[in-house]
Amino acid sequence: MNKKIKVTDLGSKDYQETWDFQEQLFQEILSIKSENKKHDTFNETPNHLLFVEHPHVYTLGKSGDVSNLLIDEKQLKEKGASFYKINRGGDITYHGPGQVVGYPILDLENFFTDIHKYLRLLEESVILTLEEYGVKSGRSEGETGVWLDVGTPFARKICAMGVRASRWVTMHGFALNVNSDLGYFDHIIPCGIRGKAVASLNVELGVDKVNEVEVKEKIKKHFSQLFEASLV
């Protein structure tokens, strides 16, 4: 089992280009697994963790409802935003500047074969990262992602998650609002959940800007510990 994960920071990158790159890595892993099965061989499958920041974009998961996008094509252009229907789970979400997005493309057979556990560990890596900033967060029952003030009228989501998995290979991932312009969330019903607000780390800390490089380093540390992996 290969417990090494190659980390690549793509910087700011177009959503479609990043999606295509994810698909390429995803298919490469599936191809190795197919060859292993076909020829009864044991060639190692790679694992990847991509970090990226997208220009303003709304994405709708395969189980999502397009009516949760509250603006039309003309208004999207005015906002400088794009829109994609994509092949992850979940409903609609927003990505944009100031957000730390992570896409783990892992062969879970290198770690464990449990999608529920996988999602919980993704959440935990963010929960532990926020804890380092003195921000208490947690899970909201039946709602994937990381939340603040769960169980109160002030519950708000700070990290959205949506994944795709096939033959234990994952893609897509998490989006943590670090220095996000929360106004862009006003144009959707985030994750299809009405009456729940969103949060950004800089707002919670009462500062203009949080160091995003530092946030990524903290996520990587917790990710590697939780997955018992070495990041390269």
* 93 annotated to a ligand binding site: yes
Contact 168, 36 (CB under 8 A): no
Residue 195 pLDDT grade (very low, low, confident, very high; cuts 50, 70, 90)? low
Nearest C-alpha neighbor of 53 from the set 202, 197, 219, 212: 212
What's the pLDDT tens digit per position in 147-181? 999 989 899 999 999 999 999 999 999 999 999 99
Is 159 a residue of the active site?
A: no
What's the pLDDT tens digit per position in 51-105? 999 999 999 988 788 898 998 989 999 999 999 998 887 788 899 999 999 999 9
Q: Is residue 162 part of a domain?
A: yes
Q: Is residue 206 part of a domain?
A: yes
* 174 annotated to a ligand binding site: yes
Q: Is residue 232 part of a domain?
A: no
Please state the domain count of the chain: 1
Q: Which residue range(s) make up the domain with 18? A: 4-227
Catalytic residue among 122, 176, 178, 191: 191
DSSP per-residue codes, 37-49: HHHT--PPPP-EE
* 90 annotated to a ligand binding site: yes
Residue 193 pLDDT grade (very low, low, confident, very high; cuts 50, 70, 90)? low
DSSP per-residue codes, 49-76: EEEEEPSSEEEE-TT--GGGB-S-HHHH
The CATH number of the domain holding residue 100 is 3.30.930.10
The rounded mean pLDDT for the chain is 94
* 92 annotated to a ligand binding site: yes
Q: Is residue 147 part of a domain?
A: yes
Q: Is residue 59 part of a domain?
A: yes
Predicted TM-score (pTM) of the model is: 0.93
